[in-house]
Structure 1
Amino acid sequence: MIAVRFFPFAQRERYLKALFFFSLMWLLPGFGGVSSAVASESTAHSEGEFGPLHDWPIIPTAMMLMPDGRVFAYGSNTNGTQGGKMHYVIWDPSMGTGMDAFEVLPNTTDTDIFCAGQAHIPGSGQALILGGDARVNNIRNYANSDVNIFDPATDTLMRQTQSMAFKRWYATAVTLPNGEHAVLGGRNDRFYKGTKKIPATVATFSPIPEVRAVDGSWRTLNSASSDYAYGALGAASWFYPRAWVNPQGNLFILAPNGKMYSLDTSGDGVLTKYSTKIEPSQASLSSVMYAPGKILTIRKYRKAVSVDLNDPVKPAVSAAGYLAKDRQFGTATVLANGQVWVNGGSSTGNDLVGAALDTELWDPDTNTWETVASAATARLYHSASLLLLDGTVITGGGGAQGPLTQLNGEIYYPPYLFKTDGSGEFALRPDIIDAPTTLVNWDQQFSVEASESIARVTLVRAGAVTHAFNQETRFFDLPVSEMANIVTVQSPASPNLAPPGYYLLFVWNASGVPSVARIIQLG
């Protein structure tokens, strides 16, 4: 059986045309035909590879995978500049990467959602967008307290009547075990030195977290105020604070200065500082939850650390090796197999001098890093990467402000999609024939059927990524007792481990090749 490469349709058509052309050229004398050289073995099965660079109608600074498999993205106007009336985009990966796969819609909410917080809303399939930018005296990068919801059923962005108590620019939103959302951090007002006509302003921040209830009402956690955990201090801890729900049901907060906190979001809130701390980092370096209660965080000087939150007393810290390159403004993405892929970034900040085109892959089983496929262009500040239903990763954006205005994207095809024979061909994939279509509860058994024997089942929470941080992603291996076309697996044990919402279900064959995912809902 001939394996056809699994590019989306538009890319696949271009690929086949190019393959035909170069196959003919390879046979021509003087071009290095089969009689004069042996074709080199592909490294796609060990390094993965990138698809062609393709255009985007905006800079995708922020991206969310919606329950219907489409990507909701925003970040600039259609000319690639920051602006309060920016557009948002819905991309359908099943239609390929041509411009006809993108729906470009105007933001009519009167909210500048540039650098907002974002999270999925369990049950509704909608996206929650919190705060963002504002102009004061025609100067950008202040903040707003607006609340907006994107509804994929109508592709509309809707301003809500109830706002947050605090203005927030660069805030983090986290889905809680009960379906509520905690929002923390963000800047309130910016520093501005002033002019004769425009008065100076002092930088202020939002050191009190808030919680949005399921009914849309808000409460402030006044007893949990902190400049260090998610306020002005602590090495820019206001800048998209790194926070996740821990296995005990509280928020775990990892500050760039290496200090760690637990936030109980009940009542008025209780903030506790752990005695454990690690090396300092920067707000521009990525962290991601790669396993239940386990975080991979990239610190300064290329050092990676694993933080295990499963001990209720205090986090356990272990070394996770060193990256080959410093990747400020790069993004860590959990793949369908639980490995972590890091792309983009620069050793010199938002600057092309130290920009990295090659990417790196961390294997939690061996605790080792490997340099893998190289991209066509740099991904720096305001870029993002997101796992898709087919197990690939869309990476795009960068700019506004930046050395390049990146109205484009690339798709990374991880090694698990390729045959292992060095041919560079895509492997044949199993198909999911049947999987749950109704709500799955925690600690519940359910059946999955595939087109061939299932060797492994994995679950990855649908992502929401911006500014080097995907706070929604979580990964689970669901043990399979015996290989068969129909297997029974157990969902994660509790909402503390797997908050309610939408998850990508992958099945794997004996060759280690995944299916295209089905979306299931936990709740």
Structure 2
Amino acid sequence: MIDLATALLITAAFLRTTLALDACPNGEKIYTGASGMSYKLCPNSDFLGETVQIRGNVNSLEECAAMCDGDKNCYRGVYDHDYRYCHIKAQGAMRWEPSQQFDVIQQNFKDIARCPGQETSYSSNGKNYKICRSSDLRGGTLQIQWNVNSLNDCADRCARDGACVHALWDATYKACHFKGSQETNTIIWSLNKQFDTIRLDLKFPRATKGEWSDLVWLPLIPVAGYVVPEFPSSSRLLVFSAYKPFEFSGPMKQTVFGDYNFNTGQTSLRTIANTQHDMFCPGISSLQDGRILIQGGSDASVTSFYNPSTNEFTRGPDLGKARGYQSSVTTSDNKIFTIGGAWSGAREGKDGEVYDPKSNTWTPLPGAKVGPMLTQDNAGIWREDNHAWLFAWRNGSVFQAGPSKAQNWYGTAGQGSQVGAGIRDDNHAMCGIFAMYEPGKIFSSGGSTSYSDVASLTRAHITTIDKPYQPAKVERMPDMAFPRGYANAVVLPDGTVFITGGQRWVKGFQDTDSVVYPELFNPYTKQWRTLAPEAIPRNYHSISILLADGRVFSGGGGLCWTGGDCDPHADHPNGQIFSPPYLFNSDGSVATRPVISSVSARSIKVGGSFTINMSVSALNLKFVLVRMGSVTHSVNTDQRRIPLTNVSRSGPNYTVSLPNDSGVLIPGMYYLFVSSANGTPSLARTMQIML
């Protein structure tokens, strides 16, 4: 028989077990101290554990946080809002529980791209270093030396060691951590009061290497995204994750979206549930009227339309086959073709089908066989029909350039068709990157022979297509400097292809073997250039996309399944914006952009003409249309670049005649860029190309 006292003790122990927290339930806030350090504030919760100091007459949670910020050894604190005490907690293990009396303060070990405090310089042995207090370099440790009594001593030791590139000094334990190069090691800069970082001052002149912004923090992990078509110019990026901001599961009938205004920096979060569609891992394509069709994914049969004119989502007709990891593409006759998608639904290779917006129906295409485009994956069929490299071409045809080594033509009329187009390479290139930089000219590179757990590839190719259903011409290009799987590619207004992220050895949900140095490929000179590094690895579940000002957003990576044992450090709810070298003069100053004053029409038919009025009359301007992109899982079938060469000039007015071929100029929403003789693009105007 258990007595009452014992029963109460058991009940109390049970409640303490069940009430433990692993996340703030009460509206977490961020506090930034005078040091630049960031802290998470969680109201109505408590840390149970050793307290090293108690301070009285503290009037607010923020005042307590400021006290913690001023104490080098304070990583966590608790504010007693009933009695106005500030508890500085020890560094040992703590139990986090709900409480009506206390509020919790804990250091935010967030990743950074800039030193939050005053950065200083130090030179030793002919090497120049940047010193940032209260920050960490996570990863890439070569060795640890002990009994190092000062930061300068740590820097001196690193400078004398041939392998040490960066270093980390731990004042508490008198330890100096030698770090390697980011070219061969995954090293992430983050906030941490325990350490001070000593970083070799590597120079990346923005005139030749470009420049990255500070981190843009988002309310979710951007696994997919697209630019919202707006007139006269686009300013927003919609990104989405899954049914939750930081994890995915099975079919959960809702999707979390983030709305990021890249002009103002404002972000917001919304949950889309009215279409009953978890859109994680879908196909994405945009129609002539600007609507974005998102199909399949976790809710594998469902489709959803996003309408940019209303900023709302509506349910579309269900797919004929349930799909996830498929690719889709908008055709020359404004239909949407999709193929593959064995990740969700039935685990089998999936033939094509086509959506017609006129009838609002999907039609199966039994002749558009998926078999010829399958890879050979060490995980089997559910990885073999994924992420096809699709390009719409003339007369409703679709060219499949990869990731299989076999290339194919698909017809979308009638029952559909498939015709082999040749062999691109000896290897399959799953999760490789691809872009049409000129009509009929397809760049591709990277990827891996299987979806995961293999080495990535460096190979690059240009595939040229002309007449539908005829063999393609493939030319091997120089290899990339870095092997990359799970990378992303963006075609820029000048026709170069900008490549971000990826891993040397593909392994989802991890940052191991990351490549943080982007590369720029010039298809006209057939040369590569390595650019300034990103601050954060961008691997599996990352995106990159061209913005209306000619910059590139790169973000995301991570997003584990619910209950999965993934590395939380590989979750990246953030991005950076890259300014390519064409935005700078040779001396590093900001280049002057051409300015489009007006366009005579914003909706133009294929083969039509329109007039552009420039603010200043100039010679040697270049005109180009770049179709607005949508991206997930290294796939962006919406983007393509169309140079406009039929141009006549009268003073500041330029009349442009469009190509009269909807297989080249696919209907939909485009950026109109006007570039200077030096290649600096204007702010793009939004143009709608119609049949």
Partner of 1:120: 286
Equivalent positions of 1:326-405 (< 5 A) are 326-350=483-507, 351-401=510-560, 403=567, 404-405=570-571
Give deviations 1:173-232, integer Å, cap 9, x for gaps. Answer: 211111111111101657xxxxxxxxxxx8323234333343311211122233232699
Map 1:82-481; keep pairs closer than 5 Å: 82-83=248-249, 84=252, 85-96=254-265, 100-123=266-289, 125-134=290-299, 144-160=300-316, 162-187=317-342, 189=344, 203-229=347-373, 236-247=383-394, 249-299=396-446, 301-312=457-468, 313-350=470-507, 351-401=510-560, 403=567, 404-421=570-587, 424-454=588-618, 455-479=621-645, 480=647
Residue 185 of structure 1 contacts residue 231 of structure 1 at CA under 8 Å; is this kept in 2? no
- Post-superposition shift, 1:279? 3.0
1:509 pairs with 2:676: yes
State TM-score, norm by structure 1.
Answer: 0.83
Report the more deviating stretch, 220-229 or 364-373. Answer: 220-229
- The offset of 1:284, in angstroms, is 1.7
Q: Secondary structure at the match of 2:605?
A: coil
Distance 2:652 2:269 in 1: 38
CA contact (8 A) 2:349 2:384 kept: no
Query: Is residue 296–residue 324 contact of structure 2 (8 Å, CA) maintained in 1?
Result: yes
The aligned amino acid for 1:509 is S
Structure of greater Rg:
2
Measured in 2, the distance between the counterparts of 1:75 and 1:331 equals 17
Amino acid at match of 1:89: G
One-letter code aligned to 1:126: R
CA distance in 2, matches of 1:408, 1:110: 27
The 2-side partners of 1:248 and 1:295 are apart by 19
Residue identity matched to 1:86: T
SS at match of 2:372: helix
User: Residue 60 of structure 1 contacts residue 76 of structure 1 at CA under 8 Å; is this kept in 2?
Assistant: no
Alpha-carbon displacement from aligned partner over 1:9-62 (angstroms, at most 9, x marks no partner)? xxxxx9xxx99x989x89xxx999xxxxxx998611111110001211111111
CA contact (8 A) 2:433 2:635 kept: yes
Letter in 2 for 1:110: Q
Q: Quick check: 1:207–1:231 contact (8 Å CA) kept in 2?
A: no
Q: CA separation in 1, counterparts of 2:202 and 2:633?
A: 38
Distance (whole Å) between structure 1 residues aligned to residue 284 and residue 648 of structure 2: 37
**What's the CA shift for 1:481?**
5.6
Cα deviation, residue 442, structure 1: 1.9
- Aligned residue pairs total 469
Higher RCO (Cα < 8 Å, 6 or more apart): 1
Q: Does structure 1 residue 73 correspond to structure 2 residue 257?
A: no
Once the two structures are TM-superposed, the CA of residue 345 in structure 1 deviates from its matched residue by 0.2
- CA change 1:130–1:42 in 2 (3 A) is closer
Q: Which amino acid aligns with 1:221?
A: L
In structure 2, distance between residues paired with 1:320 and 1:355: 23
Q: Is the 8 A contact 1:58 1:79 kept in 2?
A: yes
Secondary structure (helix, strand or coil) at the match of 2:531 reads strand
- Mapped to 2, the partners of 1:79 and 1:65 lie a distance apart of 19
**Alpha-carbon contact 1:172-1:186 (below 8 Å) kept:** yes
- The Cα of 1:352 is off from its aligned counterpart by 2.6
8 A contact 1:120–1:126 mirrored in 2: yes
Q: 2:150 aligns to what?
A: none
Bigger drift between 379-388 and 210-219 goes to 210-219
Paired residue secondary structure (1:204): coil
For the residues of structure 2 that align with 1:378 and 1:310, how far apart are their CA atoms? 37
Per the alignment, do residues 441 and 52 of structure 1 end up closer, same or farther by CA in structure 2, a change over 3 Å counting? Answer: same
Aligned to 1:137: none
Identity score, percent: 27
Instruction: State the match for 2:223 in structure 1.
Output: 61
Q: Which residue of 1 aligns with 2:169?
A: none
Indicate the larger mover: 100-109 or 373-382: 100-109
SS at match of 2:208: helix
For 1:485, which of 622, 634, 652 is the aligned residue? Answer: 652
Q: What's the CA shift string for 1:449-497, capped at 9, x where partnerless? A: 1122351111100001111111011112212566952222221331100
SS in 1 for 2:616: strand
TM-score normalised to the size of structure 2? 0.64
CA-to-aligned-CA distance 1:370-404 (integer Å, 9 cap, x gap): 11110001000000000000000111111123641
- SS of the residue corresponding to residue 118 of structure 1 reads strand
CA drift of 1:152 comes to: 2.3
> Aligned letter for 2:549?
D
Q: Kindly state the Cα deviation for residue 303 of structure 1 after the two structures are TM-superposed.
A: 0.8
- Match of 1:205, SS state, is coil
Separation in 1, partners of 2:202, 2:421: 53
**DSSP-derived class of the 2:279 partner:** coil
Aligned-residue offset at 1:120: 0.8
CA distance in structure 2 between the aligned counterparts of 1:277 and 1:510, rounded to whole angstroms: 35
- Quick one: which amino acid aligns to residue 336 of structure 2? H
